[in-house]
Structure 1
Amino acid sequence: MIRLEDVTLFVRAAALGSFSSAAREADLLPGQVSAAVHRLERDLDKRLFVRSTRSLRLTAEGEKYLPFAHEMLAVMQAGAESLHSSDDELQGELKIAVPSDIGRNVLLPLITRFCEQHPKITLRLSLSDQISDIFRDPVDVAIRYGVLDNSSYVALPLAEKNRRVLAASPDYLTQHGRPATLGDITHHHCLLFTMNSHVYDKWTFQENGLRRQLTVKSRMLCDDADVARRWAIAGMGIVYKSWIDISADVEAGRLEVLLPQFTGEAAPLNLICPHRKQFSPAIRQLYGLLREQLSALQPPSP
């Protein structure tokens, strides 16, 4: 019979890439984690990891089993929580991964309000522009920008009409002039950031019904998209960011939208989860709150 603790250690070893790291996290000896995974492999009659002296990686069977292991643990946790909660009271742990900029400046107040309304909720919030692997990382849900092309998880729309826009501060435009065409952008100071360790230096637009891509360069690069927004507010250059990220800055006059007649790249925002069964009452209520607030932030019309 499969032991729940063996499944738990398998999931953590897969996430951390090491039996030793999983052992330290669980306050166990590495041999105990290795033995737990060996028992699970024996029970499943499949090898889950390829082991070497320097690395640990999942086999094809391990990759296939991992999402089911996550779901098994989530169902067990939900069952335990249901025994200790009343029908109208939310409790339990929420592990959420969000992008850095929208996480700090838009989502954080909403999530904080949600936690104030439900004091028995425990929150583990991760803010990063590294894309979380919801099957491997210790998160319940992730909030992501972009058109999703992976049907192996469940995605719920938060702001499907959101897109990227060009923006700069009034001080920058006064000093350097306002671009009149898309081609002018490449002659301006552009502010770049990395997404999942990749430099986002190709800016895409619709021009006369055709797709046009600009490759831009910058002397200033950061691995946090929020920093690029702050640089733009400080007058350091032009930024190409999600409308949700900069809408408050535009409304306050800190930034101005440039060339609004050209439609920027689509950047729909979604809440994603490995399996629909993991949408606990807490996650469903949080989704409703976020959806109500974010769907109202419509980008300017071209």
Structure 2
Amino acid sequence: MVRFEDLALFVRTAACGSFTKAAREANLLPGQVSAAIMRLERDLEIRLFARSTRSLRLTDEGERYLPFARDALALLHSGRDELRRSDDTLSGTLQLAAPSDLGRNVLLPWLTAFRRQHPKLELRVQFSDQVTDVFRDPVDIAIRYGQVDDASYVALPIAPDNRRVLVASPGYLEQCGAPQALDELPRHSCLLWHMQGRLYDKWGFPAGKSRRTVQVKGPLASDDADIVRRWAIDGEGIAYKSWLDVSNDVRAGRLVVVLPEQPGEPAPLQLICPHRKQFSPAVRQLHALLQEKCAGLGTPAAAPDAA
């Protein structure tokens, strides 16, 4: 008979790609995880992983079995949470992932307050600019920028009208001057973001029914969007950021919107779920809270004028 714990360790190992990493996350020894996988393989009479001294990967049978294992775990968790839940009390565990800058500087206090309102609810958060795979990674939901066109996901809008804006510190603009047109951006120090070897140094802007791309450059780049925002506050250059990420800084005067008349690229914020079965009461209430809070931050059109 397949054990619930073995099934959970199989899903975790598939997400981590390593017995050692899975063991660390589960607070177990690697040998215990390996034994659980071998036991599951014996119960199923299939080989789930192809092992070598340097790599661990799912076999074809393991790839086919993985979505059924995830669905089975989700169903069991839903049943457990339903037994624990009363009409006015949220309980169980909610695992979510969000972008680094948004998560640390905007969502964190909201999530903390949400958890305080529901003391029987446990939150597990991951703040990273790596795109979370809600099917493979150990999360229930993901907060993600951008339009979701993949029909395999379920997306709930949080801030559908959010856009990117050009921002810089008052000190930088005083020293280097504010650009008066997009054509002047290449002459400025622009703060860049990179991910998995790709440098995002082509900034796109709506131009009527088309899109205009501006090639920019600068001496500073990071794979952490929060660091880009901090560099902008410190006067190191111009950043192209989501309004949600920088709205508090603009209101506080730490940053100024550059070229406020120039609309930025749409950056809608979504709540992503693998399927509707994971729309638990906690997810629904959190979604409603995030919608309300993000609406309170306004839109780029309401930003103060550039200096």
Q: Give the structure 2 partner of residue 290 of structure 1.
A: 290
Q: Find out whether 1:266 has 2:266 as its counterpart.
A: yes
Given the superposition, is the C-alpha separation of residues 149 and 38 from structure 1 closer, same or farther in structure 2, using an over 3 Å criterion?
farther
Name stretches of at least 5 consecutive residues in structure 1 with no aligned partner.
none
Comparing 190-199 with 83-92, greater Cα deviation is found at 190-199
Q: Give the structure 1 partner of residue 301 of structure 2.
A: 300
Deviations 1:194-220 (A, max 9, x none): 346643222101224431112222111
Given the superposition, is the C-alpha separation of residues 24 and 169 from structure 1 closer, same or farther in structure 2, using an over 3 Å criterion?
closer
Instruction: Write out aligned runs for 1:9-20 (5 A).
Output: 9-20=9-20
Deviations 1:10-63 (A, max 9, x none): 101112212344345546565554454345446556543232221111234433
Deviations 1:246-300 (A, max 9, x none): 1122222222212233322221111112221112111111111111221343221
Q: How many residues align?
A: 302
Identity level (%): 61
Query: What is the distance in 2 between the residues matched to 1:112 and 1:167?
Result: 28
Normalised to the residue count of structure 1, the TM-score between the two structures is: 0.90
Instruction: Write out aligned runs for 1:1-302 (5 A).
Output: 1-23=1-23, 25-26=25-26, 30=30, 33-41=33-41, 47-195=47-195, 198-296=198-296, 297-300=298-301
Comparing 120-129 with 35-44, greater Cα deviation is found at 35-44
RMSD, aligned CA = 2.4
Give the counterpart letter for 1:261 in structure 2: E
- Secondary structure of 1:237's counterpart equals coil
Contact 1:146-1:266 at 8 Å conserved across structures = yes
Give the counterpart letter for 1:136 in structure 2: R
Query: What is the distance in 2 between the residues matched to 1:274 and 1:181?
Result: 42
Contact 2:154-2:274 at 8 Å conserved across structures = yes
- Secondary structure of 1:151's counterpart equals coil
Query: What is the distance in 1 between the residues matched to 2:31 and 2:223?
Result: 37
- Secondary structure of 1:219's counterpart equals coil
Contact 2:168-2:239 at 8 Å conserved across structures = yes
Query: What is the distance in 1 between the residues matched to 2:135 and 2:247?
Result: 32
Normalised to the residue count of structure 2, the TM-score between the two structures is: 0.89
Query: What is the distance in 2 between the residues matched to 1:71 and 1:196?
Result: 30
Contact 1:204-1:212 at 8 Å conserved across structures = yes
Give the counterpart letter for 2:164 in structure 1: R
Query: What is the distance in 2 between the residues matched to 1:64 and 1:21?
Result: 22
Query: What is the distance in 2 between the residues matched to 1:27 and 1:236?
Result: 42
Give the counterpart letter for 1:48 in structure 2: L
Contact 2:188-2:218 at 8 Å conserved across structures = no
Given the superposition, is the C-alpha separation of residues 66 and 263 from structure 1 closer, same or farther in structure 2, using an over 3 Å criterion?
farther
Give the counterpart letter for 2:247 in structure 1: S
Contact 1:100-1:225 at 8 Å conserved across structures = yes
Give the counterpart letter for 1:300 in structure 2: A
Give the counterpart letter for 1:260 in structure 2: P
Q: 1:135 Cα shift?
A: 1.8
Given the superposition, is the C-alpha separation of residues 3 and 130 from structure 1 closer, same or farther in structure 2, using an over 3 Å criterion?
same
